[in-house]
Amino acid sequence: MPAYKVVPGADQFYALNEPAIGTAYPESVYPQNAQLPTLFQPLTIKGTTFKNRIFVSPMCQYSSNNGYATDWHLVHIGGYATRGAGAICMEATSIVPEGRISPEDAGLWEDGQIEPLRRIVNFSHAQGTLIGVQLSHAGRKASTQAPWVHSGLGHGHSWVASKEDNGWPDNVWGPSELKFSETYPQPKEMDEAHIQYVEDSWIEAVDRCKKIGFDFIEIHGAHGYLLHEFVSPLSNVRTDKYGGQPLENRLRFPLRLASRVRAAWDKPLFVRVSATDWAQGPEKGEDDLWKQWGIEQTKIYVEELKKIGVDLIDTSTGGNWVDQQIPVGPGYQVPFAHELKKAYPDLLVGAVGMITEPDQAESILKDGKADVVFLARELIRDPHWPMVAATKLGVAIKPANQYERGWS
């Protein structure tokens, strides 16, 4: 028998990490861990225990083949699974082909897309890391170019992915026939039948998530994509029960969808929201009419999501108004997470947005502004950030067996 342990039940050889990568060692082994920073304290959600509070944010890679994950995703996600993150949320994954942001975006609208994702999930699990997926529909911002494709094609300011670019500009849908901007596709207004089609497709994708083995699902309701478009009066000017000025109408479809997902999914369920459109002027005018989406409507929305049984609100902002004015700076979106946490202290809240320093992340959690931090760009720059953060905060956490020499 070999002296080392292997991951039981894995489909190939993986050395077993004990404890799991990114887990704080017990105080009996490392006395400095007697009082752990909040960032490295475990968190249990619906019976699932996350080993720390550092979550990898969904990051579009624009690297899928007709919605199918590739080895780029295996390496990209696998790198985070081996470097100490508490959880990984895979990128915006469309529940229908026309709901992708770009032709190269991820999808989960057919069974063939299960196996490439299962391979990634199995690898993550073999490293002791939890992994979920962000289910999405881009709405009126669909059929657009990947950023580096747009910048390299030299066809002016247009973001539209044409049919020649494998796009579908004539099959873009939203709550209303309002373009995001003149450089984006013209959407069609979704009728009752199309709303039902999208809702049913979402539930079919949830069923595929079960087969894949994801540990949690995040519903993408932010950044100007379909669900955000429905809730904001800037993008939803319908006159039926799904839109217009009444907030109840604009929330109807997103809440109905969340309720169905909750009923179909018994593991942790997150929702990412944009807490403001960052448009000029007030959220509500002196005429008592809603002018744009903002924190007050978000609080009402979140209260309803809480009643449905959503476990965590991943709090972002913006993306729905082309002329948005965002005061970007360190932690610039954290105040919105804090507002939701103050309003609903017993609801788990995630914070995002230029969180780059370990002390900064720890203070957000320690001060009760959020329960977890989601990082993206900083993890692109330094995938070992969880290990670096532990070192700076004086915590001893488990590195991967293969990387232990780098952290001795």
> Of 144-153, 286-295, 369-378, which gets the smallest average pLDDT?
144-153
Domain range list for the chain: 31-407
Dihedral sign, Cα of residue 7, residue 10, residue 15, residue 21: negative
pLDDT digits (tens, 9 = 90+) for 102-117: 999 999 999 999 999 9
Does the pLDDT at position 124 exceed 70? yes
Mean pLDDT of 378-405: 97
Q: pTM for the complete prediction?
A: 0.97
Whether the Cβ atoms of residue 318 and residue 327 lie closer than 8 Å to each other = no
Q: Which CATH class is domain 31-407?
A: alpha beta
Does the pLDDT at position 1 exceed 80? no
In this prediction, residue 343 carries a pLDDT of 98
Does the pLDDT at position 273 exceed 70? yes
Region at 128 (left for phi over 0; alpha for psi -120 to 50; beta for the rest)? left
Catalytic residue among 62, 225, 242, 301: 225
In this prediction, residue 156 carries a pLDDT of 60
Does the pLDDT at position 4 exceed 90? no
* 256 vs 1: CA distance, rounded Å: 55
* 40 vs 120: CA distance, rounded Å: 25
pLDDT digits (tens, 9 = 90+) for 19-71: 999 999 999 999 999 999 999 999 999 999 999 999 999 999 999 999 999 99
CA 330 to chain centre: 20
Instruction: Express as a percent the part of the chain with pLDDT over 90.
Output: 95
Mean pLDDT of 373-397: 98
Instruction: Express as a percent the part of the chain with pLDDT over 70.
Output: 98
In this prediction, residue 64 carries a pLDDT of 98
In this prediction, residue 170 carries a pLDDT of 98
Respond yes or no: is residue 30 known to be catalytic.
no
* 313 vs 333: CA distance, rounded Å: 13
